[in-house]
Chains A and B, each alone.
Chain A
Amino acid sequence: MTRRQTIVTYLVVVPFAIFLAFPFFFALITMFKTNLDLANVEHVPYTYNDLAGNLHWDFWNYATFEHVRFLFEETNYPTWLLNTVIVGGAVVVITLLLAMPAGYALARLAGGWGQGAGVGIFLVYLVPPTLLFLPLSRLVSQLGLKDSLWALILVYPSFTVPFATWLLMGFFKTIPQELEEAALMDGASRLKALRLIVLPVSLPGILTVVIFAFSLCVNEFIYAFTFISSSEQRTISAGIPNDLIRGDVFFWQSLMAATLIPAIPLALLYNAFLDRFIKGFTGGAFR
């Protein structure tokens, strides 16, 4: 890349990067603000201010840990984080166990109607939870899973599996069938060919499913809210808005801290596997 191309690239990318990083920066600053600093509209919101409105970057003298302390010590936030990881992890495992064979079968074995079936499965993903939560609520209750993380572990695959199946189906199609045929001719069973040949090559697609399914679980609100009513059983998506908005009073600083903390590892995870993630999403785009 020439120097000029580099400069142009940075000119385009840097403003985007600043724009996209801004919410993180704003949350980071806000979570340590005092009430007086936060509520005064004449204060600059992107730094810390004293009572007279003078700007300060002197964090230790003009910021407070009180709201972060409140979040960790006076709410169930650590439990919500743990619950989210448990539900997310379990759903990812279930999704992979169901979606991988389904995606493979649709890509390789289903013949002409596989594509149609794949689209049909994907359409299930588009049915909104706002329609489904009432009937599912009855189901969850009859199974005796209300107010339990198992309710979410049972229900979340209903939207992660269709999407993952569709995604993996497209991805499996990009893998040359000759590779498996060679393995089959060498005496491998279909399952062995899948395990030794197809899955290692499909790693970007599988990784995409893992990240995407986990993110969906972290973000999901309606089921998490409806099926679980006790604070200590909640995941972050339902716990944060519920316990940090009381009546018509928002605990802004704690809200900011609560959303920023899980966002950082997720952002890093996305970033670390960005290339594979893109490959996973675009893998089946042209087949």
Chain B
Amino acid sequence: MADAADEVARAGSALTRSDLLRKGTTAAFAVSMFGGLTDRALGVYGPLKFAKKELSGELRIMTWAHFVPDYDKWLDGTYAKQWGEANDVEVKIDHINNALLYSTGAAEVAAQSGHDLFWFISPPATFQKQAIPVTDLVQEVSKKVGRMTRVARKSTYNPATKQFYGFPESYAPDPVQYRRSQLQQAGVSLRTWDDLRQGAAKLKAIGHPVGLGMSNEIDSNMLLTSLLYCYGGYIQNEDNRIVIGQGANRKGAIQALQVMKEIYSSGMSDEVFAWTAASNNQAFLAGRLSVALNAISIVRSAEDSGNQALSDDTWLASIPRGPVQRLGNEHVMGVYLIWKFAKNKEAAQKYVVDQMLAYEDHFVRSKFYNFPPWTNSIKGGFKTIREVATKDPHKPKGKYSILTTIAEKYTTNPGHPGNTTPVMDEIYNTFLIPQMFAEVAQGKSSPADAVGRFASKAQSIYRKWHNQKLV
């Protein structure tokens, strides 16, 4: 059979067979050496190849810029890369500031284009019509590692649709962080909210006020809803109906508002009305605050700052007990949505499941910030989590073990005792809760009036989502 070179020669070309071979060899050498560069320059670089494997697609993930930069470095450069190699998928993770997650998510929805997996810092129930249900994925993980935690289930399950709209990726307990020496000096206890109410003035008197935000930001949302729980002032009931304006809930909410007003007037300053999510961190690290409620980014930053005295003096505690109970919201509930318009849904589904089935690295490398939504995705569950946390080398020794207690006993979802519905998500996104507390603290409204107005707005939001059959 004649080869290509014979064909060329027979066609009367000036090329001789030896010319062709010589030029062909040169061309083959050039292509083998520099052909890749041409491909790249022309933007036609084909699918990347791992050793002996061909990529089956790209997985684009949007998530927050974690407060531990090394965690992101590991996630992008090691975990996702290895997962991609094992699954023939090129994983690309983008990180954005957590305050901009919702607006970016809204932009992707408007464009019906963007990432395959989109991570939200709190349960994004208002986006659920834009996401594919992940009930099958939840069941798959549950089959392998046991039941999901209540906080994760209540955050991502919608009883109206009987589906999990989002896949819980992590949650962060919300401990009190306090300066032990200052509380000892002032003789203040954090056992109950009433203790804090009585001690706030003493702490302010020694130059270290209490720092509890009442502004339009997520930390204020979480903290102030927790305070409502402690006083029995539930916004919604187990059936996800708005009940804050009724009976014991109204009474509890009024008490919570009154307590916060007193803590503010005796032990805080008006900067708390203009705080961002970072403000309590900054004030605490600058040595001003004696008490703050936040995930462990404060105490970890103190350790990283090199300020040994501040780090050693920063202790962790559970949220104070109220007259009804000791209960707080998670500080962060990381939830992945797989958009309906995602181009690589299969890879997205596999990625979230695989990540959850081997979670210990995520917990450790996030410096205990990321707790697993399925406790047993870390072998041994809370027992192992406690052991790992207790071994943290920073002083006081074992201070992180309290996180396990908080996660196990005192952490719930926004909307407790109900689910985190689109109603709760919208209440959070419009910051109605901090606004209600701020109005009362500033003396612009009585607690009863503020609760009444809040209940009315919440009812209106409820009706909107009820009409869409999402609650």
Contacts and interface: CB of A to CB of B under 8 A. Distances in A.
B94 A250 contact: no
Given A138-B112, A141-B113, A248-B278, A36 B92 contact: no
Interface of A: 34-36, 39-42, 74, 133-135, 137-138, 140-142, 146, 225-226, 229-231, 241-243, 245-250
Nearest to A133: B107
B307 A39 contact: yes
A105 B106 CA distance: 40
Q: Nearest 5 CB-CB pairs, A to B?
A: A247-B67, A141-B111, A141-B113, A248-B278, A137-B111
Given A137-B110, A140-B111, A231-B95, A247 B104 contact: no
A245 B297 CA distance: 13
A146 B115 CA distance: 11
Interface string B77-110: 0000000000000001011111010011011101
B370 to A, nearest CB: 11
18 contacts: A34-B306, A35-B307, A39-B285, A40-B286, A138-B110, A141-B113, A146-B111, A225-B104, A226-B103, A229-B94, A229-B114, A242-B97, A246-B72, A247-B64, A247-B67, A248-B67, A248-B98, A248-B297
Given A141-B111, A246-B65, A230 B92 contact: yes
B330 interface: no
Nearest to A41: B286
B115 A229 contact: yes
Given A134-B106, A141-B111, A248-B281, A229 B96 contact: yes
A36 B276 CA distance: 23
Contacts, number: 100
Interface of B: 62, 64-69, 72, 92, 94-98, 100, 103-104, 106-108, 110-115, 219, 276-278, 280-282, 285-288, 294, 297, 301, 304-307, 310
Nearest to A140: B111
Contact of A134 (B67, B107, B280, B304): B107
A36 B286 CA distance: 9
B235 to A, nearest CB: 24
B65 A243 contact: yes
Nearest to A251: B69
B286 A242 contact: no
Nearest to B281: A248
A226 B219 CA distance: 24
B67 A246 contact: yes
Contacts of B280: 248
Nearest to B217: A248
Contacts of B107: 133-134, 137, 226
Given A36-B306, A229-B94, 19 more contacts: A35-B305, A35-B306, A35-B307, A39-B285, A39-B310, A40-B307, A41-B288, A141-B112, A146-B114, A226-B107, A242-B65, A242-B95, A242-B96, A242-B97, A243-B95, A245-B65, A247-B64, A248-B280, A249-B301
